[in-house]
């Protein structure tokens, strides 16, 4: 029997941990791979995240290929962190001790067609998962801007897309079960159909990688579908009309700084058949939205920063009218070759216009003082409130708007912009998206009414702090997170 949340629940007297089925034995402690009988070797690895602000050579690095190897590694390490695909903008995945990647633990383990549930090893990428489950007629319905993330990494930070019918990938409507490797290598299994696991799952769904190593996740899925995407320029006032997010399945918009122009994107379920247009898709998704934006920003940042407002107006004039039909998992995420920096916040729906006005004022004043020139659009996305995870930024009974700030990496002083913008957003009780950059650790715990409940599980499940890294240390201490760790 794997350990259940009821057994592991942080209650007094001392929780009774029954380490069962997946116990660590002397044979797997010796770190010998069951599959080929060869020792699992530590590799030399320099880890660098996607935005290149976090870089470290961990003391040991492993890529376990079996559950047995994974359990042994966890049991014998004193400090261990799993890295997904390194797409967090902050030091979430940083450790200079033992780092592991579950990239080889990527198999689908069980398929329950009747209930549309799939149990999968957590090292699989979102892209590979969606591609594979299409053959079962299932899909993760609401996805973000990319799908390179690992399932474990994406869920640990509450990754989300846009669409008021859905929440984040870590919501209770999305995650049915989780299997966590605990301090001593045993497996803790949590299931939504066991009432005693309810609180454990609320802690584990958005876990910041600090409750154990996620070995497997059981997702609740929806029927696969095609979406028709329509994208076009619209004035800010028109984009802010709430009719859009109410009547479209997925709606989001980008506000170009120094302009009144937005790019709105709607995606709706359709019975139309997907028609591939590789050349048009290449033109929009790679040439225009990546290469052109990247190349022009590099030139502008290096030639004359003061021209940025005019330059951004020029970019806003290039917003295409786009229309395409494809499978939902193909037309929500897209390629990102342009490198940028991001900070994102969850706020109550309805505050968008007021917040955008305040951000416009900040943008104008930073440009006037020549401190920072806003160069990439602010993105607005909308999700259902989440009541199933203690640390979800969308923890609410009300719908939520996510506001996403970006800067191309070529511009100086982006930190000033993000810090100043965060001060504005904090006035609206904004909660940071955990995978992005944020600064105000001293107040962040206060924004999460269930932070203490999460900490109770943290203390009970990780009494020796084996899974705590720099990111969580700073968060709990209320100390400012570093922008750059190298
Ligand atoms: C270009 C880009 C676009 C993005 N778009 C979006 C978006 O549209 N919406 C959105 O919400 N976010 C978005 N993000 C943020 C991203 O989804 C999150 O940062 C996500 O956590 C990254 O997943 P990862 O696999 O790279 O995890 P990592 O960044 O490698 O790790 C994230 C956390 O998960 C933990 N972790 C990883 N694997 C395990 C495991 N097996 N067990 C326990 N803990 C584990 C790590 O220790 C760490 O704490 C984007 C990021 C980038 C770079």
| Across 307-333, average pLDDT | 95
pTM assigned to the model: 0.93
Mutational test site, ligand 1, from 128, 169, 435, max ligand atoms within 8 Å of CB: 435
Residue 424: exposure state from Cβ atoms within 10 A (0-12, 13-18, ≥19): middle
Domain ranges of the chain: 3-223+447-477, 226-444
Q: What is the pLDDT of residue 391?
A: 97
Q: Ligand 1 centre from 125 Cα, in Å?
A: 11
Residue 93: exposure state from Cβ atoms within 10 A (0-12, 13-18, ≥19): buried
The DSSP code sequence of 420-480 is HHHHHHHTTTPEEPTTS----HHHHHHH-TTHHHHHHHHHHH-TT-TT--HHHHHHHHTPP
Residue 364, token pair as written in the block: 């104008």
**CA nearest ligand 1 atom 22, residue:** 87
Q: What is the pLDDT of residue 482?
A: 82
Contact (CB, 8 A) for 101 and 63: yes
Separate counts of helices (H) and strands (E) for the chain: 17, 21
From 3.40.50.1980, 3.10.310.30, 3.30.465.10, 3.40.50.1820, which CATH number describes the 3-223+447-477 domain?
3.30.465.10
- pLDDT, tens digit, for every residue of 171-220? 999 999 999 999 999 999 999 999 999 999 999 999 999 999 999 999 99
The DSSP code sequence of 257-313 is TTSSEEEEEEEEEE-SPP---HHHHIIIIIIIIIIIHHHHHHHHHHH-GGGHHHHHH
| Across 429-447, average pLDDT | 92
Residue 369, token pair as written in the block: 């003082």
Beta strands in 172-223 (DSSP E): 175-181, 187-191, 213-220, 222-223
Whole-number Å distance between alpha carbons of 323 and 126: 24
Contact 167 CB / ligand 1 (< 6 Å): no
Whole-number Å distance between alpha carbons of 165 and 159: 15
**pLDDT greater at residue 369 or residue 31:** 369
**pLDDT over threshold 90, residue 58:** yes
| Across 260-269, average pLDDT | 98
Contact 406 CB / ligand 1 (< 6 Å): no
- pLDDT, tens digit, for every residue of 404-434? 999 999 999 999 999 999 999 999 999 999 9
Q: What is the pLDDT of residue 42?
A: 83
Whole-number Å distance between alpha carbons of 41 and 43: 6
What kind of architecture, by CATH, is found in domain 226-444?
3-Layer(aba) Sandwich (3.40)
| Across 121-127, average pLDDT | 98
Report the candidate in 166, 107, 111 with the shortest Cα–Cα distance to residue 135.
111
Average pLDDT over the chain reads 91
Residue 241: exposure state from Cβ atoms within 10 A (0-12, 13-18, ≥19): exposed
Q: Ligand 1 centre from 370 Cα, in Å?
A: 33
Mutational test site, ligand 1, from 153, 168, 481, max ligand atoms within 8 Å of CB: 153
Query: If you compute the radius of gyration of the chain from its CA atoms, what whole number of angstroms results?
Result: 22
Q: What is the DSSP letter of 150?
A: B
């Amino acid at each position: 029997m794997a350990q259940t949340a009821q057994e592991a629940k942080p209650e007094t007297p001392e929780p009774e941990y029954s380490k069962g089925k997946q116990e660590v034995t002397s044979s797997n402690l010796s770190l010998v791979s069951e599959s080929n009988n060869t020792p699992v070797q530590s590799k030399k690895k320099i880890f660098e995240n996607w935005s290149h602000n976090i870089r470290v050579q961990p003391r040991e690095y492993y890529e376990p290929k079996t559950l047995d190897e994974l359990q042994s590694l966890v049991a014998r390490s004193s400090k261990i962190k799993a890295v997904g695909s390194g797409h967090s903008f902050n030091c979430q995945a940083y450790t200079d001790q033992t780092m592991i990647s579950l990239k080889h633990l990527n198999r689908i383990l069980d398929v329950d067609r009747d209930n549309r549930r799939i149990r999968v090893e957590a090292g699989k990428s979102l892209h590979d998962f969606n591609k594979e489950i299409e053959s079962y007629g299932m899909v993760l319905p609401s996805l973000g801007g990319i799908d390179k993330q690992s399932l474990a990494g994406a869920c640990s930070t509450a990754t989300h897309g846009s669409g008021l019918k859905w929440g984040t990938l870590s919501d209770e409507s999305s995650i049915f079960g989780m299997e966590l490797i605990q301090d001593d290598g045993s497996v803790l299994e949590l299931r939504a159909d066991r009432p005693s696991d309810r609180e454990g799952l609320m802690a584990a769904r958005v876990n910041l990688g600090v409750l154990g190593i996620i070995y497997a996740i059981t997702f609740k899925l929806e029927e696969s579908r095609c979406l028709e995407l329509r994208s076009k320029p619209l004035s800010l006032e028109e984009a802010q009309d709430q009719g859009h997010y109410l009547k479209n399945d997925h709606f989001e918009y980008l506000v170009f700084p120094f302009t009144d122009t937005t790019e709105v994107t709607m995606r709706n379920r359709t019975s139309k058949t997907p028609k591939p247009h590789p050349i048009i898709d290449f033109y929009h998704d790679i040439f225009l939205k990546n290469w052109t934006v990247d190349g022009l920003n590099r030139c502008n940042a290096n030639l004359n920063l003061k021209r940025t407002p005019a330059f951004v107006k020029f970019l806003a004039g290039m917003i295409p009218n786009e229309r395409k039909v494809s499978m939902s998992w193909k037309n929500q995420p897209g390629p990102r070759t342009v490198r940028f920096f991001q900070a994102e916040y969850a706020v109550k729906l309805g505050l968008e216009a007021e917040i955008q006005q305040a951000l416009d004022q900040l943008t104008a004043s930073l440009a006037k003082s020549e401190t920072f020139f806003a160069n990439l659009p602010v993105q607005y996305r909308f999700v259902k409130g989440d009541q199933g995870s203690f640390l979800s930024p969308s923890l609410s009974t009300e719908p939520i708007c996510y506001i996403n700030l970006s800067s191309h990496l070529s511009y100086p002083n982006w930190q000033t912009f993000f810090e100043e913008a965060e001060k504005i957003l904090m006035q609206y009780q904004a909660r940071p998206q955990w995978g992005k950059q944020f600064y105000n650790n001293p107040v962040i715990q206060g924004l999460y009414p269930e932070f203490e409940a999460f900490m109770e599980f943290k203390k009970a499940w990780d009494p020796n702090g084996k899974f705590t890294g720099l990111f969580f240390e700073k968060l709990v201490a209320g100390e400012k997170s570093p922008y750059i760790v190298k």
